[in-house]
Structure 1
Amino acid sequence: MKILVIRFSSMGDIIYTTPIVRCLKKQIPGAEVHFITKPAFKYIYDNNPYVDKLLLLKPNLSDTIADIKAEGYDHIVDLHNNLRTATIKLRTGIKSSTYKKQTIRKWLSLTFNLKLVPPVHLVDRYMLAASVLGVVNDNQPIDYYTRGDHQLDKLLPASHQNGYVAFVIGATHFTKRMPNEKIINLCRQINLPIVLLGGNDVKGNGEMIKQALGNNIYNACGVTSLDESVFLVSRATKLIGFDTGLTHIAEAFKVPIVSVWGGTVPELLGVQPYKVNEVLVAGVELPCRPCSKFGLPACPLGHFKCMYDIANNEIADFINA
């Protein structure tokens, strides 16, 4: 049986498709499993042993449809469910099953601060779309495979090579990030050396934190590649991170995680840490939270209590235990 799984974006959503791909490949005898995504997210499936072929979305949808028709698929598992995937299914005529987004329930929950979306993880929602093919959830974590042969002594100073806490300080939007001064206060309570991870956009934040705390901090933001950052995550003693892709990738490894949530909430999108043995989900209940599904450039009310009111002691106790 030849199966195409579709998910075009974004990083976190694609990461959570990996258990579905694994189950399709392992549970359907002789299955040939292909995956299609945007070129920007190709790296998520690089070296994944459960994907027989990776297709990339082309600028012209007709070209992508032609590629799909040429493959002769028996079934499409649509884990994106948008106009583009609907067009693909219609124009190819291939039998398909589709992930249900619960768009209206999510909008009502966000707009009126209601809890209409059951706290079911995105993996389990995806799995329903694949279940028509007879697969069941194997209850294993997500998959992620690094590409390089990395070494700690090439990436970290000697002071950080015998145990460290990875702190992912980057996130796309302001309301997902903990303010620098709060990060500094939290890091003061942590006993192990700390490696800060993130992109160039938070390199300056990392330098500010390092200047305040000294040699206990190594700022790898904007220094390590994504693949190197994932390697550092995989070797960390514990990890602290916000609602961002690298934090979700960390779930593929047996690393205890503190998952910190500000203006967004994991239950709304079903992206609470998945199959992690040791996890602390840090967030505070407020009438204004969540203020968005995906994050905002500033706190709409100006107080940013969803981050400032998180108890540092609780996080530090988890990390130091």
Structure 2
Amino acid sequence: MKILILQLARLGDIYISWPAVRAVRRLNPDAEIHLLTRPRFEGAVEGLTAIDKHMTLPSGHILMPLVTDNVNTEESLNRMEEFVETVRAENYDQIINLTFSPFSSYLTHSLTMPHTSVLGYTRFRDGFFCAADEVSAYFYAQVGINKPNRVHVSDVFASMIGTEYTEQDWEAPVLPEVKIDLPNLYLTVHVGASEKHKALTGDAWGRLINYFTRRYEGMPIVLIGAPNEAEIAQEIISRAPNATIINLVGQTRMYDLFTILKRSELLIGCDSAPIHMASLTDTPTLNISVGNVNFWETGPKATLGMIYRIEEGQEIVPERIGEVIAQLLEGHADPQLIMRTGGLASYDKVETPEQEFAWKLVQALYLGGEFPVAERIEIIEGAMKLDEINDFMMSQFALIPEKGVNAVSAFIDGGEDVIKSISRIVPELRPMIDWYHAEKIRVAPGTQEEIIAATLSVHERFKRHLRVYVPRDEKVTTVEAKDGTL
């Protein structure tokens, strides 16, 4: 058996994928497993012994004809086709796409042979998007910034593969010999982040370390980061003149960081690859989660993983973070910290009633959980409106064989607009509406009769979910509902 795994995202995503790749190897010990990544991030594959072959997508070579003075689109397409044909020749029995992106879905479809089974995003034969499995549909509907999913991406991968992780899936690789004189005790600070808006400034890091040093004078701090973050490191050093700082920014390979993290008392960093490397070395981790980040999905998975959350627009107070770190070294977890925990959701955090409702609704839709009780009349009213418009749309689909698509398409499109508006007005119902949209997209191409039947099946299931919140007695009024007599 020959398996191809695609992970075309960034460094951190590749490290998040390590346990999944190892699980694929564990489930298929005799298979030939290949991994495809982007060249820029191939360093994150070093030490991953679960694969037999590592390939990179030659994106620079493919796109070069498009960025010259004489743009040659045809040549770029030819180079892409050559790459696809080379990989297709491997004749894979299974493709596992761990990259939830439009481009990866096209590439997966292009590499798929008639006998190939696919997990993850791909395309139907007519080129339209296809979530090939239930977990991919879940990811499409519920995962992402400002969405209700509370399952870590690594655990989403495990569900897609159809397994539960073992301790061996999360092991650190065989650690390299790092020729760096490191102290016996030290903290590690990663000065950068996967994206600039997720990072602290050099001034903020300097103030944080300067404050911490007053409490823990002499505790060495190892700075790590990419070469382009060297300037930030120098600013940190200038802002914290009394700290004992070992500056390794731009002086290590990615693989070397495993040893540095393994020996560290604590890793402190924003959303970045070292956070996920520390999950493999099981290094205690404080993730400073800034702004537009979904920590539920990409936070640290180390046993002692903690998150200091700074919401978008919230002021960053470096001295406050320094105090939190000092408390941790004294054995106390600040109440503001979000702590790593077991179970379906990886972290323990008190949420608003609206957030709790949305997450419980997700569990009801996908995991057979109990539907949450609607505490707001707007939820009941929204569900009633959705039920009404859903019935109307079903009646329009039923008319297609008689009147034709053109006669009813405007009414169906109008119904979709109403559904989208309710998603904005009643955010608690958004998970159900997103589920509905994902299921509609999953309807495969076919004859008109097949498409209508599959679409009506989605609407029927949508109706069953909605009826949980629709009063059974049609005579119930809004006033009665507000009094709780449904």
1:129 corresponding residue in structure 2:
160
1:62 corresponding residue in structure 2:
81
Contact 1:8-1:37 within 8 A present in 2 as well: yes
State how far apart, in whole Å, the 2-side matches of 1:146 and 1:170 are: 26
2:309 corresponding residue in structure 1:
283
> What one-letter code is carried by the residue in structure 1 that aligns with 2:91?
G
Matched, 1:166 2:188: yes
> What one-letter code is carried by the residue in structure 2 that aligns with 1:126?
F
2:323 corresponding residue in structure 1:
313
State how far apart, in whole Å, the 2-side matches of 1:319 and 1:180 are: 23
Q: 1:198 to 1:56 in 2, by over 3 A?
A: same
Shift of 1:235: 2.0
Q: 1:315 to 1:137 in 2, by over 3 A?
A: same
State how far apart, in whole Å, the 2-side matches of 1:85 and 1:55 are: 15
Q: 1:128 to 1:122 in 2, by over 3 A?
A: same
> What one-letter code is carried by the residue in structure 2 that aligns with 1:283?
R
Report the count of equivalent residues.
288
Larger relative helix fraction = 2
Give the counterpart of 2:98 among 68, 72, 79.
79
Give the counterpart of 2:233 among 193, 206, 215.
206
Shift of 1:232: 1.8
Give the counterpart of 2:206 among 181, 184, 187.
184
State how far apart, in whole Å, the 2-side matches of 1:164 and 1:30 are: 42
- SS of the aligned residue for 2:51 comes to coil
State how far apart, in whole Å, the 2-side matches of 1:76 and 1:313 are: 47
- Write the mapping of 1:204-283 to structure 2, written as runs, cut at 5 A: 204-211=231-238, 212-214=240-242, 216-267=244-295, 270-274=297-301, 276-283=302-309
Shift of 1:29: 4.1
Unaligned runs of 5+ in 1: 111-115, 290-300
C-alpha RMSD over aligned residues = 2.7
- SS of the aligned residue for 2:276 comes to helix
2:18 corresponding residue in structure 1:
18
> What one-letter code is carried by the residue in structure 1 that aligns with 2:191?
I
Q: Name the % identity.
A: 22
Contact 2:207-2:319 within 8 A present in 1 as well: no
1:58-108, Cα deviation, whole Å (9 max, x unpaired): 33332332232221211111111433333333333222111627456457x
> What one-letter code is carried by the residue in structure 2 that aligns with 1:179?
T
> What one-letter code is carried by the residue in structure 1 that aligns with 2:315?
K
Shift of 1:141: 5.9
State how far apart, in whole Å, the 2-side matches of 1:223 and 1:71 are: 38
State how far apart, in whole Å, the 2-side matches of 1:65 and 1:3 are: 16
Shift of 1:15: 1.2
- SS of the aligned residue for 1:273 comes to coil
Contact 2:2-2:93 within 8 A present in 1 as well: yes
Contact 2:208-2:319 within 8 A present in 1 as well: no
Unaligned runs of 5+ in 2: 63-78, 122-135, 332-486
Q: 1:307 to 1:65 in 2, by over 3 A?
A: farther
- Write the mapping of 1:30-41 to structure 2, written as runs, cut at 5 A: 30-41=30-41
TM-score, structure 2 as length reference: 0.54
Q: 1:6 to 1:265 in 2, by over 3 A?
A: same
